[in-house]
Structure 1
Amino acid sequence: MWQYRQAFKTLIDLTNTKLSTVAFSLGYDISYISKWNSGRKLPSSKNIYTINRKLSSLFAKVIIEEDKVDDFFTAFKINNTDVLKNDSRKGLEVLIYKLLNEAYMDSNQDLPMETISNTNFIFKNSSIDKDLREALEKIIGKKKKVDIWATFDINSHFAQVLMQIGKNLNKDVEFNLHLLCMKKNLDKLDILKKITDNSGINIELYEDPGIGYDIILIRETAYLILRQEEDFSLLTHGEELDTLFEISSYIMELFKGLNKVIALSQSEELAKSNYRKYFYSDNEFLFLSNYGFEFLLPNPIIDRIINEIDKDKDFKKKEVQGIKLLWEELFADAEINFLATRTGLLKYFETGEIFYCSLRAKLSTEEIQAHLNNIISVMKKNKNINFYIIKDNRPLQAMGLDKFNFFINENNMFFKKINGDGDLTSTSIVTDVKIHNKIHRSLEEIMDSDFSQKYEVDDLEKLFHKYVHVFKKMSHKA
């Protein structure tokens, strides 16, 4: 058996990690770390599992990055490498964590024989909702990013508990929630309504193949296993690294094999892919704008937006330049239906705020005027462009379509979700045909209903002139 000092020092030497780096990682004074390294003192038994967990993460990262996995197995005389098959870094973390725990147990004679368990088991003759909420709130704590994978339906009771937790988090917390959706519900808009009602949460959906158990995985943090029967309820949750690793491997492999219904894509991921280029290779489109109106911007305004992109966001600059060229060709002859809400347009005229691709931009009064002039100019050249203004938002609200900017062609669809603060969240790509067709049909029905009005180019020009004149007068008075 390894002594703690011996295991700790071997890992330090193997990874060439400075004691000051360990001290910073753990939040300890370097004098404590020096004593652990020399064997003069052991870490506190009260905090040993937290310490070993942080150390295992630190050492595993370096070993993987410096390609020293074989050296690690040789140094500690470990033969079984199966744990590294699915996720080598996480598997290595588990090995180091267990190794350090066992070494500590062997070194500290004062430590009770039974180890402190991080697993909690709750049995109730009634609902476990309160216990579940308390456990989740404690586990999530003050995290800035939460990534949850759950094996139950978006319409389920437990999903509502998770979404309520997400609603109560601070607005600066990134909350990603991966849920299932039953096949029979894929063409129902109440799914979209749930996503809309929880606009602060990034929800990704997978088709439910009929999984009959309820597991919540808080990625890299904790697991919760639930069971609710008619006359009793069970909740098991824990954070111990080896069990968490096993459950994580199982859940991630499970979701990998499921059909995605609505996929999340971060702005950088989307910008570096060819998705938008592929999307705009079609020739018929329907666009719904609930926030601003990013289309048909004059080139000087686009160039100004590009020039203001931070140097470390070069991927965005390349994306916008590519989209600019694509849109020039697209708007020349494509068949396009633009839908914009009256409230969204008025807000744009008032604030000048838009999202161009994944960039937030603010246009001046003069730029708004130039934008509107360009819309009219392009529409006069391309008679296949139609412009509809939705006068009443209630149909959109009833369907859950009122907080998204939708981009739709015959085969593809994505939407940009704007949260309550006017910030852009992850882009959602609709990959399920049923949902795609349902949303497409619903928007076409609204477009052709009494709730919206189609404007010919001359009437639209008069309307724009009227609105701009009003907002100019308001700005001068202010």
Structure 2
Amino acid sequence: MNAYGTLLKKLIRFTNIKLTNLAEIVGYDTSYISKWCNKGKLPAAKAAPNVNKCLADVFAREIIIQEEATLFAAEFNASGPYDESSLSSTIFRLLKDAYKRSYDNTSENAQLAGLSSQRMLLWQLDIKNFFVTELPQLLHQLNEPCQILCTMDICGFLKDLSYETGRQAYYTNPVHIKMGINLGGHCKNNSYIPQLYYFLNHYNDISFDFYENTCMDYMNLFIVKNCIAVQCALDKDYRISIAHIITDTAQVNSLYQKVNSEFTLSRLMIHSSDSEELFYNGYRTEFYAHNAFQIMVAKGFEFLLPPEINPRLIQAARDQGFDESMAQLVAHLGITWEEIFEKGAIDFYLLKTNLIRYITDGTIYFADVVYHMSVEERKKHIQHVLDLVQKNPNIRFFIIDDECIPNSEHLFQMSVYNNKRKLFLKNMEHYDARTHLGPSFYTMQNETLIGGISQYFSELQSSSLCNVYGSEDVFRFYEKYGIMIDRMLSIEE
């Protein structure tokens, strides 16, 4: 533990202040303060003076309230006077000195200094090493949420990205990136669509907002607020040939402010969102106001559920700590889907591995509620699917053999909901209780983009990766494999 963490921990113990109260006043999550106390982490240098001033004011106030000024002076080797203002100044000085000692001595800071040194990169190997290794390492070591701007067109880079292995480490601090996209540039056909989908899946712990970048593509800038900026020269194939790294904080933030204003004036194309925003801006309501859908399910299968499951989902929402609005949303969605299933035209795209996983595991993700279907509930679910497809021949299933797609276990983490007018992605990894990182949803804000994705799914139906099952095919499938499915269920039972 460094000097700063030791002092902060001692002050918290002396005043007996709750970490949650301290976090609320300082404006940081409790996890950050815990890391400052126990993990050798430090507040960002730019934010440290304000953080230390807030901490000093809080501790001084508590010491005066508890009438422990004399004891404080003895334990912390401080002298009077002992009024609140003087105590605050004394504690601020102690924190400032401890911070400086820790900052100067920490090996992490030495690494950051080396990583973020101002320089020019001229060779492809150095440029690749910076973006693939050094920059992620730098972001991992920051002790605050990261705000990043990239004016360049994501579609220009997709062709060169590789996802041979899953990522070894995810960001523990929130990372939000505003990035450019140009549907009239490198996105002239639908080949970019699966690549963009894989990109969002691979970096599912990062929240991206994509903006139409025709007015700022020439800037070729990548900027991390309060940290670093990279000015790039691109060759004819849209590859970075020269990278000028800027580390002067004043210059970085001046660039950030100017470029951020350009994003504000640009059209938002893809937006990272959460369940509350999706509901209150009416996006969800408008989505379900149609009768034709393309839905690709990455995890579980929360559709065509028996009616008796809905009350259990509502109760699960309450049991999992959601407020009553989530319970009402679950109830509303249950009724809405029942009506759609009766007459709607729905193409379900199901991953073969996910279908097997659902049969054996039974986990579904309904709105924000994670629910584990019992074996008996899964059996009723299967029977209800058979009943519904018999009544509504407009329900079709396209089973995707994802085992034929390299590294598919890393690249299919987001479900797709599309009615050809509205389209959103649901980030299933966000509902992992271990992380809760990344956005809950992505909403498509552009008709051309939605049209391209719709066409891609239509073309996927004739792909060798897809097997189609209409209502009669579903019955034949169950007649052939029903015994095997029952055996799979009986293993858990």
- 2:154 is matched with which residue? 154
SS in 2 for 1:291: coil
Q: Which segments of 5 or more consecutive residues in structure 2 lack a partner in the other structure?
A: 13-41, 58-91, 97-112, 236-240
Deviation at 1:29, TM superposition (A): 5.5
Q: Distance in 2 between matches of 1:161 and 1:59?
A: 45
- 1:75 is matched with which residue? none
SS in 2 for 1:183: coil
Deviations 1:72-122 (A, max 9, x none): xxxxxxxxxxxxxxxxxxxxxxxxxxxx9xxx9xxxxxxxxxxxxx98421
- 2:104 is matched with which residue? none
- 2:461 is matched with which residue? 447
Deviation at 1:403, TM superposition (A): 4.4
Alpha carbons of structure 1 residues 27 and 355: separation in structure 2 relative to 1, 3 Å: same
Amino acid at match of 2:447: V
> RMSD of the alignment, in Å?
4.5
Alpha carbons of structure 1 residues 335 and 173: separation in structure 2 relative to 1, 3 Å: same
Alpha carbons of structure 1 residues 356 and 464: separation in structure 2 relative to 1, 3 Å: farther
Q: Give the 5 Å matches for 1:78-477.
A: 120-126=117-123, 128-129=126-127, 130-131=129-130, 133-134=133-134, 136-141=136-141, 143=143, 145-155=145-155, 167-170=167-170, 174-184=174-184, 185-186=186-187, 187-197=189-199, 199-201=201-203, 202=206, 203-211=208-216, 212-219=218-225, 221-228=226-233, 233-238=243-248, 240=249, 243=251, 245-309=253-317, 310-383=320-393, 385-390=394-399, 392-393=401-402, 402-419=412-429, 426=439, 427-448=441-462, 451-464=465-478, 467=481, 469-477=483-491
Amino acid at match of 1:213: M
Deviation at 1:279, TM superposition (A): 0.4
Aligned residue-pair number: 388
Deviation at 1:262, TM superposition (A): 1.9
Deviation at 1:280, TM superposition (A): 0.5
SS in 2 for 1:375: helix
Deviation at 1:289, TM superposition (A): 2.2
Deviation at 1:380, TM superposition (A): 2.9
Deviations 1:119-171 (A, max 9, x none): 8421355455245643552353165854422122224569979999x945337
Amino acid at match of 1:236: I
Contact 1:284/1:335 (CA < 8 Å) preserved in 2?
A: yes
Name the TM-score, length of structure 1 as normaliser: 0.66
Contact 1:413/1:430 (CA < 8 Å) preserved in 2?
A: yes
Contact 2:302/2:365 (CA < 8 Å) preserved in 1?
A: yes
Amino acid at match of 1:224: A
Alpha carbons of structure 1 residues 318 and 442: separation in structure 2 relative to 1, 3 Å: same
SS in 1 for 2:305: coil
Q: Distance in 2 between matches of 1:253 and 1:26?
A: 41
Amino acid at match of 1:294: E
Q: Distance in 2 between matches of 1:161 and 1:391?
A: 23
Amino acid at match of 1:297: L
Q: Distance in 1 between matches of 2:444 and 2:144?
A: 27
Amino acid at match of 1:368: R
SS in 1 for 2:455: helix
Within the alignment, does 1:56 sit opposite 2:65 as a pair?
Answer: no
Amino acid at match of 1:216: F
Q: Distance in 1 between matches of 2:161 and 2:178?
A: 14
- 1:112 is matched with which residue? none
Amino acid at match of 2:337: W
Compare 186-195 and 414-423 and name the one that shifted more: 414-423
Compare 245-254 and 205-214 and name the one that shifted more: 245-254
Deviation at 1:190, TM superposition (A): 2.5
Deviations 1:413-463 (A, max 9, x none): 112244599788531112222322222112112224565444343542453
Contact 2:362/2:374 (CA < 8 Å) preserved in 1?
A: yes
Q: Distance in 1 between matches of 2:46 and 2:298?
A: 50
SS in 2 for 1:311: coil
Name the TM-score, length of structure 2 as normaliser: 0.64
SS in 1 for 2:308: helix
SS in 2 for 1:169: coil
Alpha carbons of structure 1 residues 451 and 411: separation in structure 2 relative to 1, 3 Å: same
Q: Distance in 2 between matches of 1:420 and 1:183?
A: 28
Q: Distance in 2 between matches of 1:170 and 1:464?
A: 40
Contact 1:284/1:336 (CA < 8 Å) preserved in 2?
A: yes
Contact 1:285/1:409 (CA < 8 Å) preserved in 2?
A: yes
Q: Distance in 1 between matches of 2:353 and 2:383?
A: 20
Q: Distance in 2 between matches of 1:49 and 1:401?
A: 34
Q: Distance in 2 between matches of 1:377 and 1:255?
A: 50
Amino acid at match of 2:446: D
Deviation at 1:468, TM superposition (A): 5.2
Compare 463-472 and 202-211 and name the one that shifted more: 463-472
Q: Distance in 2 between matches of 1:53 and 1:197?
A: 32
SS in 1 for 2:246: strand
- Report sequence identity in percent: 17
Amino acid at match of 2:457: L
Q: Distance in 2 between matches of 1:218 and 1:228?
A: 18
SS in 2 for 1:411: coil
Alpha carbons of structure 1 residues 135 and 407: separation in structure 2 relative to 1, 3 Å: closer
Alpha carbons of structure 1 residues 370 and 264: separation in structure 2 relative to 1, 3 Å: same
Deviation at 1:218, TM superposition (A): 2.8
Q: Distance in 1 between matches of 2:146 and 2:307?
A: 39
Amino acid at match of 1:123: M
Deviation at 1:286, TM superposition (A): 1.8
Q: Distance in 1 between matches of 2:192 and 2:407?
A: 9
Compare 327-336 and 418-427 and name the one that shifted more: 418-427
Contact 1:283/1:330 (CA < 8 Å) preserved in 2?
A: yes
